[in-house]
Amino acid sequence: MEQQADVIIIGGGIHGASLAFHLTQLGVRPLVLEKSFTASGATGRSSGLVRMHYDLEPESRLAWASFAYFRHWAEMVGGDCGFTRTGFVQIVAPEYEAQLRANVLLHQRIGIPSLLVTAADVARLAPAFVTDDFTVAAYEPESGYADPSATVNGFLAAARQKGAGLVQGCAVTAVATTDSRVTGVITNKGEFAAPIVVNAAGPWARQVGAMVGLDLPITTWRHDTMFIRRPTAVAATHPTVIDMANSMYFRPETGGLTLVGLEDGNPLGQSPDGDADHAAPGFVERAVERICRRMPQMEAGSLHSAHSGYDGLTPDQRAIIGAAGPEGYYLACGFSGTGFKIGPAVGAALAELIVNGTAETVDITPFALSRFATGDLLHGEHAYANVWH
Give 68-104 pLDDT, tens digit per residue. Answer: 999 999 999 999 999 999 999 999 999 999 999 999 9
Measured between alpha carbons, how far is 132 from 255 in angstroms, rounded to an integer?
29
Residues 6 or more apart whose Cβ sits within 8 Å of residue 236: 256
Backbone angles phi, psi at 254, to 5 degrees: -60, 155
Measured between alpha carbons, how far is 7 from 247 in angstroms, rounded to an integer?
40
Topology of domain 3-45+149-216+316-374 in CATH is FAD/NAD(P)-binding domain (3.50.50)
**pTM score above 0.75:** yes
Torsion, Cα of 20, 22, 27, 30 (10° steps): -10
What percent of the chain has pLDDT above 90? 96
| Mean pLDDT (whole number) for 205-212 | 98
Q: Determine the distance from the C-alpha atom of residue 305 to the mean position of all C-alpha atoms in its chain, rounded to a whole number.
A: 22
Q: Where are the domains of the chain?
A: 3-45+149-216+316-374, 83-142+219-311
CATH class of 83-142+219-311: alpha beta
Instruction: With cut-offs at 50, 70 and 90, classify the pLDDT of residue 386.
Output: low
Give 306-318 pLDDT, tens digit per residue. Answer: 999 999 999 999 9
Give 153-197 pLDDT, tens digit per residue. Answer: 999 999 999 999 999 999 999 999 998 999 999 999 999 999 999
